[in-house]
Amino acid sequence: MAIKLDMEKAYDKISWELINVSLVAAGIPKFLRKVIMGIISSSTMQILWNGVPSKSFKLDHLYLTFFFADDLVIFGKAEIDQAFLLKEILKRFYDFSGHKISARKSNMYFSKGVDNSSRDRISQLFGFQEVFNLRIYLGVPLLHDQVTKSTLNLVVEKVRGKLHNWEARKLSFTGRVTLAQSVILTIPSYFMQSLLILKRVCDEIEKIVRQFIWGVLMDITRLLW
């Protein structure tokens, strides 16, 4: 079985002391811990841009949420004793950190070999909804079947959507090449960390990026190489 846990308000619920204790347990040097804790707890910060610090700006919850992953996927045997053990672990985690799990947003997935009785008992124990597709985790689709071109349409659409947010006419040729290399081509690279992308999907992405570089998306007729 696979359980996709969703934490309730990760930033608001987390304990600052827990973060510091976790950094100590991980063996992070003291000076680096001070830097990390200072960054995530300070109200303002600056960005160093080309060697020059920018103006200070307020670090609100919008930025701080990126320091916390509020989703977690756990795999285990679909057995009732294993389920009780996992539930106890989650309870201890909550008692220690104050980090509560949202039963409404959490889901469970069972393989085809698990009988209906076990599914019902385990689902009721956790209070999580059983689903037949866990969909996406950290921006990457969780696949349950064979990878096909339609499965990877998400990657193609992400690239296409990113390109349509920019106007090729307002960028120089060099600017479009730089943009494609530094931004667009990192999208499939991120997906490739966890799954194999079919060659024909890579070819389609390459075609879309090539058209953007030469301005075809903006109805500019050019010779494509």
Which amino acid, one-letter code, is at 94? Answer: Y
Query: How much is the pLDDT for 29?
Result: 92
| Amino acid (1-letter code) at residue 21 | V
DSSP symbol at 183: I
Quickly state the pLDDT bin for 218 (edges 50, 70, 90).
very low
- pLDDT reported for residue 61: 42
Please say whether the beta carbons of 53 and 47 come within 8 A: yes
Sheet holding 2-6, edge to edge: 71-75, 2-6, 107-109, 129-130
CA distance 91 to 96: 9
Least confident piece of the model among 30-34, 88-92, 185-189: 185-189
Contact between residue 108 and residue 128 where contact means Cβ atoms under 8 Å apart: yes
**Position with higher pLDDT, 139 vs 72:** 72
Contact by Cβ (8 Å): 83, 125: yes
Rounded-to-integer distance, Cα 186 and Cα 162, Å: 12
Residue 83 CB-density burial (10 A; 0-12 exposed, 13-18 middle, 19+ buried): buried
Cβ atoms of residues 137 and 73 within 8 Å:
yes
Q: What is the Rg, in whole angstroms, of the alpha carbon atoms belonging to the chain?
A: 23
- Cα(76)–Cα(5) distance, integer angstroms: 13
pLDDT in tens, 114-152: 999 999 999 999 999 999 888 788 777 777 777 777 778
In this prediction, what percent of the chain has a pLDDT beyond 90? 22
In the predicted model, is pLDDT for residue 217 greater than 70?
Answer: no
pLDDT tens digit sequence for 25-51: 999 999 998 888 887 766 555 565 555
179 strand-pairing partners:
none
Closest alpha carbon to 90 in 101, 77, 75: 101
pLDDT band at 62 (very low <50, low <70, confident <90, very high): very low
Helices (H), the chain: 10-13, 16-25, 30-41, 61-64, 80-97, 116-126, 153-164, 173-179, 186-191, 199-213
- Is the pLDDT score of 59 beyond 80? no
User: What pLDDT score was predicted for residue 142?
Assistant: 77
- The larger pLDDT score, comparing residue 165 to residue 223, is at 165
